[in-house]
Amino acid sequence: MRVLFIGDVVGGPGRRGLREAMPALREQHAPDLIVVNGENTAGGVGITERTANDLFGMGTGVITTGNHVYRHREAYDFLERERLVIRPANYPAGNPGRGFTVVEVGGMKVAVINLSGAIGLDVARSPFDTVDGILDQIDADAVIVDFHAEVTSEKVAMGWHLDGRVAAVFGTHTHVPTADGRVLPKGTAFISDVGMTGSRTSVLGVKVDQVLARMITQMPTRFETAEEDIWVMGAVVDVNEKGLADSFTQVMVPVPASVS
């Protein structure tokens, strides 16, 4: 069973770039399941039913999110209704949405879990305790984890914590692809951050001049999603019958300039 995971899709440019790249990605990798982090799909911050349906229309099977999931209030009811869009499981239990889902693909029951890091982000519970509790209760042949976290140390620690217990731990949130992608000794594919799907001529997806103005002057500045030099970033993992990873392949694909 093969999983294609796509990093944080930033705004309309990221969605358009992914739509353009997806046919070739599907032909090249033939994934059984496509998981996309969609928490920045709506104007660069947050997710809506419309932007989620845009991702589903491209063949996405499950959408994960992160700290911006609740930016748009109109999405709250959608998060309650749509079981294939998940939010961090270690958020307060009464918050809209769910922290994991299970889908049947490639002859396997695959659980996808969304977690938020506790360092530098607001959470209700430890991501380590939370994922342990979920693994104790779910019925699945393989487990994929999106760990949406701020610092690499916490992400690396989660990889080792789950090594041999899940098929893959994909780090998201920081938008910069790391060079540590691999299969850990007990069979869990891991990368600290898969990167983002959006403009590389930007600061984490935002127009460069606007971020520079904010950082240099420390004055309020309106941020807009950058539209040039769109790349699709993610990873592909082959999962065996034991529910562990046989391989890890990083994905970094430039999109033709005419699409942005």
**Low-confidence winner among 31-35, 36-40, 187-191, 224-228 (lowest mean pLDDT):** 224-228
Across 57-67, average pLDDT? 98
* Domains located in the chain, CATH noted: 2-255 (3.60.21.10)
Task: Give the rounded percent of residues in the chain with a pLDDT score beyond 90.
Answer: 97
Q: At what angle do helices 11-29 and 49-57 cross, to 10 degrees?
A: 20
Residue 228: Cβ within 10 Å count:
13
Q: Does 260 score more than 90 pLDDT?
A: no
Residue-level pLDDT at 258: 65
Residue 158 has pLDDT above 90, yes or no: yes
Q: Is 155 exposed, middle or buried (0-12, 13-18, 19+ CB in 10 A)?
A: buried
Which residue is it, tokens 């990093």? Answer: 7
Q: Are 15 and 38 in contact (CB under 8 A)?
A: no
List, for residues 99-146, the tens digit of each pLDDT value: 999 999 989 999 999 999 999 999 999 999 999 999 999 999 999 999
Q: Is 252 a residue whose pLDDT tops 80?
A: yes
Helix axes 127-137, 152-162, angle to 10 degrees: 30
Quote the CA–CA distance of 189 and 235 in Å, as a whole number. Answer: 10
pLDDT of residue 259: 53
* Whole-number pLDDT of residue 256: 87
- Rounded mean pLDDT of 229-252? 98
| Active-site amino acid positions | 68
The answer on pLDDT for 236 being more than 80 is yes
Read off the DSSP letter of residue 6: E
3-class state of residue 185 by DSSP: coil
| Average per-residue pLDDT for the chain | 96
